[in-house]
Amino acid sequence: MFGKFAFLLSLMTALFLGACGKYSSGPPTPDNTQIAELAQAIQALGPDVDPEEAQRAARIAYTYPLQLAREYQVSDPPIIHNIKVNQGLRPRGLCWHWAQDMETRLAQENFKTLELHRAIGNSEKALRIDHSTVVISAKGDGMYDGLVLDPWRWGGKLFWGDPKLDKKYEWIPRQKVFDLKRGRRERRSLAAG
């Protein structure tokens, strides 16, 4: 009975969200102004941030998700695409895929003045699904001093901003989330005997 209800709820959600719009030919290509604004924000993360590294990081953050969207065969809003990935209809494209691939690509640049972090949003909120992303900061700074680089949220079109001011997600360092979940599992296991 519960399985049927869950399926119907998923189907209704998919149909509702499917009407939210999609990209007929992939996410829109960013213009140079958008890239320059992000580069400026990255450079403003600290006085020692190399302007060339900030520019390179911004360009990759905006353009690499377009490549991923093609590779992931994105043609629907993120939630619908997730359903397709989970059903085996698409190769990749869950939020953690985007975060992992974006982090890997940015790490290839071997930035000297920038640092990458992983974060998970809403992991401690009831009835919310965990969401993974990459955060970029000045070298030596923590995640909360950086900028969220979230290519999943808009299906390949980059969202970026201050993790503390994000109205949609409450970001926590990924390792802390893993530690909290492991602790809960251990407590449940001990309680079960």
| CA separation for the pair 149, 134 (Å, rounded) | 5
Average pLDDT over residues 46-55: 99
Percentage of the chain with pLDDT > 90? 70
Predicted local distance difference test score (pLDDT) of residue 17: 45
What is the C-alpha end-to-end distance of the chain, expressed in Å?
A: 30
The structure's pTM equals 0.83
For residues 4 and 160, which has the higher predicted lDDT (pLDDT)? Answer: 160
Q: Could you tell me which of 117, 107, 111 has the C-alpha nearest to residue 143? A: 117
Give start and end residues of each alpha helix (H) in 2-94.
Answer: 2-18, 32-43, 51-72, 78-86
For residues 12 and 161, which has the higher predicted lDDT (pLDDT)? Answer: 161
For residues 81 and 123, which has the higher predicted lDDT (pLDDT)? Answer: 81
For residues 82 and 125, which has the higher predicted lDDT (pLDDT)? Answer: 82
Confidence at 18, pLDDT banded by 50, 70, 90: very low
Q: Give DSSP secondary structure letters for 44-64.
A: TT-TT--HHHHHHHHHHHHHH
Contact 131, 40 (CB under 8 A): no
pLDDT, tens digit (0-9, with 9 covering 90-100), for 137-179: 999 999 999 999 999 999 999 999 999 999 999 999 999 988 8
pLDDT, tens digit (0-9, with 9 covering 90-100), for 62-72: 999 999 999 99
What the block records as the tokens of 21 is: 């719009």
Predicted local distance difference test score (pLDDT) of residue 22: 54
Confidence at 6, pLDDT banded by 50, 70, 90: low
φ, ψ of residue 171 to 5 degrees: the values are: -85, 140
15-37 per-residue burial string, b: 16 or more CB within 10 A, e: under 16: eebeeeebbeebbeebeeebbee
Does residue 28 carry a pLDDT above 70? yes
